[in-house]
Chains A and B, each alone.
Chain A
Amino acid sequence: MSEIQRPLSPHLSVYKWTVASSLSILHRLSGVVLSLGALALIAWILAAAAGSEAYDQVFAILSGPFGLLILFGFSLSFFYHLGNGIRHLFWDAGYGFDKKIARISGWCTLIISILVTLIFWVEVWS
């Protein structure tokens, strides 16, 4: 069975990057990152159940410079995905579709998620 070469319509590359499209792909990206975060969460719980030796090993990885960088990525992904997810739920309920409002809610989500991530790490550190 040979592939028939049909002409393709212009794809993603022809469109301008907007707040709406950027945040949309960020939502998907952060979701995939958080799936890996779920893996880390379960690994942490498993380690706690496995005993102090296993826990110390997992904790050493997570609290090392590389681990902390990963955890920071998870936390940023989480607060963004949470905020934008709530934004999506409002859309599902039929609110906030107005172009101007959607743009404002997008910027607010982005800024708030970055701020909350920073506040979270300041809290953890102090």
Chain B
Amino acid sequence: MSLQSPLGRFLGHGSAKEGAHHWWMQRVSALALIPLTLWFVWAIAGIEDLQDQAAVVAWMSGAFNGIALILLIIAVTYHSMLGVQVVVEDYVHGATKVITMIILQLAHIVLSVAGIYSVIIISLGAG
């Protein structure tokens, strides 16, 4: 027997107003990725000596390129995490689903931080 009133029980099990959060952030990150990825593809096609580490570092060191690259890393990893999550939810079930989800979410965070750290290191001239 519960001491909670029916209203109390109902209030504790609501959507917490997060129902559309995943959907919404997927769209927001998608919109951010349109200019960011197009810039990246255009920029990468324009680097003359792509095989030369020094040339790539010089390109990444620019303030605009560095900031855009960090924004790209954040948007890409976030959008990827949201997308992969939906795929896992559809095809993986039970405990495997939970474990897969945790691994993938942590992997995306690690990926994101590693990328951002690299760009900062390069921008500071330590790379």
Are B27 and A63 closer than 8 Å at their CB atoms?
no
Q: Which of A38, A89, A120 meets B41, CB within 8 Å?
A: A120
The CA of A35 and the CA of B82, in the complex, are separated in Å by 11
Assess whether A52 is interfacial by the CB under 8 Å rule: yes
Q: Which residues of B contact A (CB under 8 A)?
A: 27, 30-31, 33-34, 37-38, 41, 45, 50-51, 53-54, 56-57, 60, 69, 73, 76-77, 80, 83-84, 87, 111, 114-115, 117-119, 121-122, 127
6 A-B contacts (beta carbon < 8 Å): A32-B87, A39-B111, A45-B119, A48-B118, A59-B50, A88-B30
Per-residue 0/1 for A83-94: is the Cβ within 8 Å of any B Cβ (1 yes, 0 no)?
001101100100
Assess whether A46 is interfacial by the CB under 8 Å rule: yes
The CA of A116 and the CA of B54, in the complex, are separated in Å by 30
Are B53 and A55 closer than 8 Å at their CB atoms?
yes
Given A46-B114, A92-B27, A35:B80 Cβ within 8 A: yes
Chain A residues closer than 8 Å to B51, beta-carbon distance: 56, 59, 63
The CA of A78 and the CA of B37, in the complex, are separated in Å by 9
Q: Which of B34, B37, B84, B115 meets A35, CB within 8 Å?
A: B84
Kindly provide the distance from the CB of A83 to the nearest chain B CB, expressed in whole angstroms: 11
Chain B residues closer than 8 Å to A39, beta-carbon distance: 111
Kindly provide the distance from the CB of A113 to the nearest chain B CB, expressed in whole angstroms: 13
Kindly provide the distance from the CB of A40 to the nearest chain B CB, expressed in whole angstroms: 11
